[in-house]
Structure 1
Amino acid sequence: MTHDKAPVSPPDVSKVPDAVPRYEPLSRGGNRSPYEVFGQTYTVMPSADGYRESGTASWYGMKFHGHLTSNGEVYDMYEMTAAHKSLPIPSYVRVTNLDNGQSVVVRVNDRGPFHHDRLIDLSYAAAYRLDILQRGTGRVHVEAITPSPSGQMLASATAVNSRTPAASTSLRASHDRRYLQIGAFASEAAARNVQQQVMPFATGFGVGIYTAYPSGSPIYRVKIGPLNVGESLDNLIASLAGAGFHSPHLVAEP
């Protein structure tokens, strides 16, 4: 494929949840520093702590879908991921569209975009959520979210979307979003570990592991539910936050 493009018949990505920040060691691939692309030398930052920058975001789609990212994972344009020239891999960042205030949390697992005027390359799903697909680019602010090994956030974005469930003071389950997702994991063992940690706080609710195959490899999602329609989740979310789970979000039934 010579030129990148959007999928012809894409699935509905309007409800693809934000990436869930969690501590991850640096990957073996994608962190060599310095490195050179198209004659330009780039340096990888030793840490994402405190990173904040505004600039232009672009997105990448069909041309790279199914190919390996810089750290050896498979690029899935329907997941909330991104490419950055200098952030360590993996990193988590909140990207806010400066023109409409929309924001998403993405996981950086790739290198790019290698254009002098571009700051970050977003997945198709992330670009859709930020409403920059049609224009191709958008003015954004990028801020790192850095979990520590203990699960506490060392740094978080200040531009919080008011619709982010964790920031809500009166979050209630609606008819079509009735599970509270705690995290998504590549390892079933990691998911079961989180499941065991969450169960004491989910009194009266089931805590399940739901397997999906968005890019051919299994992803294990830990969810609390089903929840009753109109049920207040404030106490549950506060308990989860106290245990180090800071980014639960409502999702549709599995």
Structure 2
Amino acid sequence: MKKTITLFFLIAVIGFAFSKGPVVDKIKATINTMKTSGNTTKTAKDSVIQDPKLKLKFYKKDANASYYHDKFNGRRTASGAKFSNDGYTAAHRKFPFGTKLKVTNQASGKSIIVEINDRGPFSRGREIDLTKKGFMEIAKNKGIGVMVVTIEEIVD
């Protein structure tokens, strides 16, 4: 029962994060494959689905990632969307709004998929700002504020 609820939650989160049809179809196919092989992911925060069908374009290794402060909850982002630290979004200086990125913590090996909806970070030496939820899911040490990540763009 718990696996079913968790799998439903995972599908809902990923389905919401990816508004483009082909990417959603690839993720659904992967989830179906995982169901039939018995290799289900326990929760979204344990790991991201490693789908060999997803096309990833390497962007940067050894990038510094930080996360938003709670004071930004409810404010508008540069794209006009309302910010929530409970989502899977990110700020980057150059990627267009709506770009999907796979961000992998190099220390723990955990990954998340985020959508760019804001500009920043504005601290020198930092490449990407993640939501607090996304950051904590891949962080090895929950007491840190910056981590070294690899950034890959998801292309259609």
Q: Which residue of 1 aligns with 2:149?
A: 140
Report the TM-score, using the length of structure 2 for normalisation.
0.63
Coordinate RMSD, CA, aligned = 2.2
Change in 2 beyond 3 A, CA 1:108/1:130: same
The Cα of 1:116 is off from its aligned counterpart by: 2.1
Q: Which residue of 2 aligns with 1:122?
A: 130
SS at match of 1:94: strand
- Which structure 2 residues correspond to residues 42-61 of structure 1 after superposition, within 5 A? 50-54=57-61, 55-61=63-69
- Which structure 2 residues correspond to residues 143-222 of structure 1 after superposition, within 5 A? 143-146=152-155, 153=156
**Percent same amino acid at aligned positions?**
30
What is the CA–CA distance in structure 2 between the aligned matches of 1:116 and 1:80, rounded to whole Å? 23
Q: Which structure: greater helix fraction?
A: 2
Which of 17, 41, 59 is residue 20 of structure 1 equivalent to?
A: 17
**Displaced runs of 4 or more, over 6 A:** none
What is the CA–CA distance in structure 1 between the aligned matches of 2:127 and 2:142, rounded to whole Å? 16
* Count of residues in Structure 1 that have an aligned counterpart in Structure 2: 109
Which letter does structure 2 place at the counterpart of 1:76?
A: S
Consecutive unaligned residues in structure 1, runs of 5 or more: 1-14, 25-48, 147-152, 154-254
- Highest relative contact order (Cα 8 Å, sep 6+), 1 or 2? 2
What is the CA–CA distance in structure 1 between the aligned matches of 2:117 and 2:142, rounded to whole Å? 20
Q: Which residue of 2 aligns with 1:93?
A: 101
The Cα of 1:115 is off from its aligned counterpart by: 1.8
SS at match of 1:142: strand
What is the CA–CA distance in structure 2 between the aligned matches of 1:103 and 1:86, rounded to whole Å? 21
Report the TM-score, using the length of structure 1 for normalisation.
0.40
What is the CA–CA distance in structure 1 between the aligned matches of 2:122 and 2:97, rounded to whole Å? 16
Please give the per-residue CA displacement for 1:61-100, whole angstroms capped at 9, x wherever unaligned.
3121100000100001001111001101111000000000
The Cα of 1:20 is off from its aligned counterpart by: 3.2
What is the CA–CA distance in structure 2 between the aligned matches of 1:98 and 1:142, rounded to whole Å? 10
Which letter does structure 1 place at the counterpart of 2:17?
A: V
Contact preservation (8 Å) 1:21, 1:145: no
Q: Which residue of 1 aligns with 2:82?
A: 74
Does 1:109 pair with 2:117? yes
